[in-house]
A and B are shown apart, each in its own frame.
Chain A
Amino acid sequence: MTEPLIERLGLRFLHVVGRNFLVWRKLMFASMIGNMADPIIYLVGLGVGLGAFMPTIGGMRYINFLAGGMLCFSAMNSATFEALYSAFSRLKVQRTWEGIMHAPMTAADVVLGEWIWAALKATLSGTAMLVAMYLLGIAHGWRPLLVMPVVLLIGLAFSGLGLIMTSMARSYEFFIFYFTLLITPMMFLSGVFYPRAALPHAIQVIGAFLPLTHGADLARGITLGMPMAHPWLDVLVLAAYATCGVSLSVRLVERRLLK
């Protein structure tokens, strides 16, 4: 018997992506509303309401500036929630990962699959934002479409970070630390809602190390045509977070489940 293609190419993690997709498909509409409608409501609400009191930023309306940030913010949130709460349910509550590993699948297959799946959900949220940007007349032409790989990369970065937390978590409460100490401050340090130049210099330096900062700079540059200081550095930082995150998660899950 010849091996099927996925097995022959060593892409077994796709079975995990496929499993999650089948589950997602069942609850597609509820899930889409949460993932897609929510950030769009924020964009319109803050952009129109708050935007009325705001000066233009770099010559553009506030809602335009905000949209570039919200695109990344919604991708980050989608990836984070999936890699934390949903993945942890499958790891601990449902023992789904354990079951999968009784088949000819390894911890690395499972973690890679979850990593990519969470990033795909982030991409879906980002796509919804991008569609909203076109509909609201914020994005024009084909160039903003080039942001999609960036959104995927943001998804991979936050999914990798989230999986590290998941592989160390004993209960859902553990994730509160991650949100309070990392995700929430990041939201304000990375220039999602206002330009980072508004912040004291020392805080800007901290922001320069955060993945969301680099995602937001790239996204604004591509979708809105804002000047980008060092786009390749941005890509490199996101890619570093993504690869370090996933490789560390694989090690941690191996240590947790294969003892």
Chain B
Amino acid sequence: MLQVRDLHKSYSGTEVVRGVSFGVAAGECYGLLGPNGAGKTTTLRCCLGLTASDAGTITLAGLPVPAAARAARARTGVCPQFDNLDPDFTVAENLVVYGRYFGIARRVMLERVPRLLEFAGLEDKAASRLDTLSGGMKRRLTLARALVNDPQIIFLDEPTTGLDPQARHLIWDRLKGLAASGRTLILTTHFMDEAERLCDRVGIMDRGSLIAESAPRALIGAQIEPHVVEIFGDGVREFARDAAPRYAQRVEVTGETAFCYCRDAAPLLEALQGQTALRALSRAANLEDVFIKLTGRDIRD
């Protein structure tokens, strides 16, 4: 459904996308992960023909972008990072008017609206003004709006950023439903749990390049030890320097916490029994650990 080959994009001399290539098959859910400024949103915008790339080829829904971007967008749904719902209209009007931009007749849209509202869980909000909706409701409406043209491929730019846990779970549930109905989803996120839950495959972007790409489980298996013990408390630095390396394959200290990556956590946990000043949290390795390993712990602004 989407083929990106050797995409490059610079802004005033700074290359923000440096030769990115990836493909997304029909029915797949693909996650583009990366710290802020990694080039995720720029890559998505190029795919939609909303940003002109400097080099590279893109094929979306069988059409070349940007040459046939308009026709490609007609077959695509977009759920943007920032809400751009139309505050001058009610909930239902937002859907009807948006359908008009796709050339869908008002009459046809009026037939589709009840199903879209049901999908968004906004059946009793059809005539509500937008400023009466919560953040979660707005995001669900944005998602429903991305479906007005019944697209087979949907782009979601950070679909749950800024939502509370209940609202996030509801969005995930809807996205899983869309994936189950055979639609292709392409999402960016910096929530690793979100990517692990939803995506068949993820690509990790950093500083404009795709640095790893695989199924989330496979990526965790290939990149990182299966167990993580997080240790904190008085004397953690000394313990991490002197004792931990004997039990863990890798030890990383950041701030007041030591992250110990182990093939087997038992010996380390046993050694910690005698350390009353230290507290430990033992857990399975997850995508976030891979992400941090690959992209570092530095803050990106």
Contact = CB atoms under 8 A, between A and B. Distances in A.
Determine the main DSSP class of A at the interface with B.
Answer: helix
A127 to B, nearest CB: 24
A255 to B, nearest CB: 11
State which size class the interface on A falls in: 20 to 34
Which of A94, A103, A106: most chain B Cβ within 10 A? A103
A252 interface: no
A22 B88 CA distance: 9
13 contacts: A15-B101, A19-B100, A94-B84, A94-B88, A95-B84, A99-B80, A99-B86, A102-B48, A102-B80, A102-B84, A103-B73, A104-B70, A104-B103
Contacts of B280: none
Contact of A102 (B51, B71, B78): B78
Nearest to B100: A15
B52 A104 contact: no
Interface of B: 11, 48, 50-52, 70-71, 73-74, 78, 80, 82-89, 93, 97-98, 100-103, 105, 149
A23 B102 CA distance: 19
Nearest to B148: A103
Interface stretch (A3-11, A39-47, A210-218, A230-238): A3-11
Contacts of A94: 84, 86-88
Contacts of B100: 15, 18-19
Interface in A95-110: 95-96, 98-106
A4 B82 contact: no
A23 B82 contact: no
Contacts of B149: 103
A4 B149 CA distance: 14
A94 B94 CA distance: 13
Interface of A: 3-4, 6-7, 12, 15, 18-19, 22-23, 26, 94-96, 98-106, 257-259
Contact of A103 (B71, B87, B102): B102
Contacts of A12: 101, 103
Nearest to B96: A22
B46 to A, nearest CB: 11
Given A22-B89, A94-B84, A106 B97 contact: no
Given A15-B101, A101-B50, A259-B51, A23 B88 contact: yes
A103 B51 contact: no
A16 to B, nearest CB: 8
A22 B102 contact: no
Given A22-B97, A104-B70, A259-B11, A4 B105 contact: yes
Given A98-B84, A102-B73, A104-B101, A258 B89 contact: no
A22 B70 contact: no
A26 B86 CA distance: 14
Contacts of A100: 101
A134 to B, nearest CB: 34
A15 B74 CA distance: 15
Contacts of B103: 3-4, 6-7, 12, 15, 104
Nearest to A97: B84
B53 to A, nearest CB: 11
Contacts of B70: 104-106
A258 B48 CA distance: 11
Nearest to B77: A102
A95 B80 CA distance: 11
Contacts of B73: 102-104
Nearest to B12: A259
Nearest to B78: A102
Contacts of A106: 70
A111 to B, nearest CB: 15
Contacts of A96: 84, 86, 88
Contacts of A19: 86, 97, 100
Q: Pick the 6 closest A-B CB pairs, nearest first.
A: A103-B101, A95-B84, A99-B84, A102-B78, A104-B74, A23-B88
Given A15-B100, A19-B86, A104-B74, 17 more contacts: A4-B103, A12-B103, A15-B101, A15-B103, A22-B93, A94-B87, A96-B84, A99-B80, A99-B85, A101-B50, A102-B50, A103-B73, A103-B101, A103-B149, A105-B101, A106-B70, A257-B50
